[in-house]
């Protein structure tokens, strides 16, 4: 669990927040998405029996002029009908960061949270296939 109490890159439905503690404005979501202002951070996934890191969860960290609370960002995106757009910035960013970091050459698993419907969109399927096939190719060669 993150310090914000929730997930990272998914476009999932979050519970209502009556206190409005996240205060992410719709215009900040729009600008962050328009300018691809999302970075990836990696949370280790540990097998507690072997006490070894077996993979990482890719967490999207949006910003627009300042860091935006990720839970508030994805909540506001969902409320504004922009979950799909958020996933379509977060997933390619994660894929690019994985390639640049050299993570793709390691034999570890990577978990990414996105809406299932995002992965099933035919217009983007080819892009996502490449994102996932390149790391596998690099790891095997």
Q: Walk along the chain (141 residues) and give the pLDDT tens digit of each residue.
A: 333 344 444 444 555 655 554 689 999 999 999 999 999 888 899 999 999 998 888 899 999 999 999 989 998 999 999 998 998 898 888 878 877 777 666 667 888 888 877 777 766 666 667 666 655 655 565
CA-to-CA dists, residue 58 to 40, 43, 79, angstroms: 6, 7, 23
Q: How much of the chain is helix, strand and coil, in % rounded to 5?
A: 45, 20, 35
Give the whole-angstrom CA distance, residue 55 versus residue 42.
Answer: 9
CATH topology for 26-140 is TIM Barrel (3.20.20)
Q: Domain-by-domain residue ranges, the chain?
A: 26-140
131: left (phi over 0), alpha (psi -120 to 50) or beta: alpha
Query: Which secondary structure element, helix H or strand E, spans residue 53, and what is its range?
Result: strand 52-62
């Amino acid at each position: 669990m993150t310090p914000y109490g929730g997930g990272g890159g998914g476009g999932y439905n979050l519970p209502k927040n009556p206190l409005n503690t996240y205060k992410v404005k719709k215009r900040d979501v729009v600008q962050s998405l328009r300018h691809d202002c999302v970075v990836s951070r990696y949370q280790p996934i540990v097998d507690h029996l072997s006490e070894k890191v077996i993979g990482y969860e890719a967490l999207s960290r949006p910003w627009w002029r300042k860091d935006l609370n990720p839970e508030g960002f994805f909540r506001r995106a969902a409320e504004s009908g922009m979950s799909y757009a958020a996933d379509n910035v977060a997933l390619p960013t994660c894929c690019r960061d994985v390639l640049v970091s050299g993570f793709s050459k390691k034999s570890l698993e990577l978990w990414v949270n996105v809406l299932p419907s995002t992965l099933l969109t035919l217009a983007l399927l080819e892009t996502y296939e490449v994102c996932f096939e390149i790391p596998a190719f690099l790891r095997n060669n």
